[in-house]
Chains A and B, each alone.
Chain A
Amino acid sequence: MKLFKEIAFASALSLAALFTLGDAQAHEVKLGDLVIHHPWSRQSPMAASVAAGFMTITNTGKEDDRLVKATSEIAPVTQIHDMKMEGDVMKMVELPDGIVIPAGGTVKLKPKSLHIMFMDVKQQPAEGTSFTGTLTFEKAGTVTVDYEVAAPGADMGDMH
């Protein structure tokens, strides 16, 4: 556990460094065999009490891992969700078992799909700002990430 803490601390430090150096480049956090690429969110309607987080997670290791928990500073409740369209119906599903990050694979959390769901958000983060959160993986442990807040309705897709 100490190691995880150190890694988390180191990651947070390197992240801070990245931001100080300028964030022109999409940011990336490493945690063991995992690479978390460009966590982002987008400005929700101001009166809304929810927001969503997205990112790309690559597992460079030989063993599957699993994202099991997420927290954030903007919401008392943060969950791992999937969204899908069934015909013309939008369905939201909470994933209590989290998301498997397969060995050698990449999982994208993106609009209209897998996402981190921030519930009971008191103050919506504004476009151009960022907020922190943690991600906990079954094997790799916990890491702190910074979500960059994009414009309302942004769909960054494969841009990053």
Chain B
Amino acid sequence: MKQTRLMTAAIAAAVLALGAAGWLGVELLRGQQQSAMFQVGGPFVLASSAGGTVDSATLAGKPYAVFFGFTHCPEVCPTTLYEMSSNLAALGEAAKDFRVFFITVDPARDTVAAMKDYVANFDPRIEALVPTDDQLKQLASDFRVYYAKVPTSDGGYTMDHTATIFLFGRDGRFAGTIGYGEAAEMRQAKLARLLKG
């Protein structure tokens, strides 16, 4: 009788252990999948509108945001940058070490000088970065960003591009996104959370 009880207990323990191992395995796997899914961004060293270059390695401890666009953009880019400017103004001191990088997907037209004039319209914490064609390809792959040249009838072109703002925390890790057209309160809350973290 006592033996049977012992056996039952042992079996139960084994089952529990197996279950726990299985659960752990699944959780680990899920964790891996999640981190794989959320791996956005990568190291960069890019020419800056503020002069010199910006090296992502020097951003440790500072939260930052990355947005891709171009200056011949009538709608999404200026709107996003105006909205970001008003967010930064509202956040005030809390955002004093926050940096926003506007990276052009049109380096053929958007030279460092052109980008400098363009970002002068916005909050000084917004800085423009100009990649080379190869750097842009690498960035697009690292940030999972889409961009494409679309010809227009006058012989010129416009650009299609991902309009998402990518947020990075003080630990340098990807911390979420702000989508185009997101409500002002939502944008503000996301930035406030990023700056606190």
Contact B72 A85 (CB under 8 A): no
Chain A residue at minimal CB-CB distance from B150: A92
The reply on B153 being an interface residue by CB < 8 A is yes
Contacts of A157 in B (CB 8 A): none
Contacts of B181 in A (CB 8 A): 85, 112
Residue B71 at the chain A interface, CB threshold 8 Å: yes
Quick one: which of A91, A117, A155 contacts B160, CB cutoff 8 A?
Answer: A91
* B134 proximal to A (CB < 8 A): no
Alpha-carbon separation in the docked complex, A159 to B177 (Å): 30
The CA of A88 and the CA of B179, in the complex, are separated in Å by: 7
Range, interface on chain B: 20 to 34
Does A24 belong to the interface (CB within 8 Å)? no
Chain A interface residue count, Cβ-Cβ cutoff 8 angstroms: 31
Asked if B93 is an interface residue, CB under 8 A from chain A, the answer is no
A-B interface pairs (CB < 8 A), number: 93
Taking the complex as formed, is A16 at the interface, i.e. its CB lies under 8 A from any CB of chain B? no
Tell me whether A52 and B154 are in contact in the complex, defined as CB-CB below 8 angstroms, given that A89-B163, A152-B82 are known contacts: no
A3 at the binding interface (Cβ < 8 Å):
no
A44 adjacent to B161 (CB under 8 Å)? no
Contact A47 B160 (CB under 8 A): no
Residues of chain A with a CB closer than 8 A to B75's CB: 52, 83, 90, 111-112, 115
Mind listing 26 A-B residue pairs with CB under 8 Å?
Answer: A44-B78, A45-B122, A47-B117, A47-B121, A48-B118, A50-B72, A50-B73, A77-B156, A79-B152, A79-B153, A85-B163, A89-B160, A90-B73, A90-B161, A91-B150, A91-B160, A92-B74, A92-B150, A92-B158, A92-B160, A112-B75, A117-B74, A119-B152, A119-B156, A152-B78, A153-B83
Closest 7 CB pairs of A and B: A47-B117, A153-B82, A45-B121, A52-B74, A90-B163, A90-B76, A77-B154
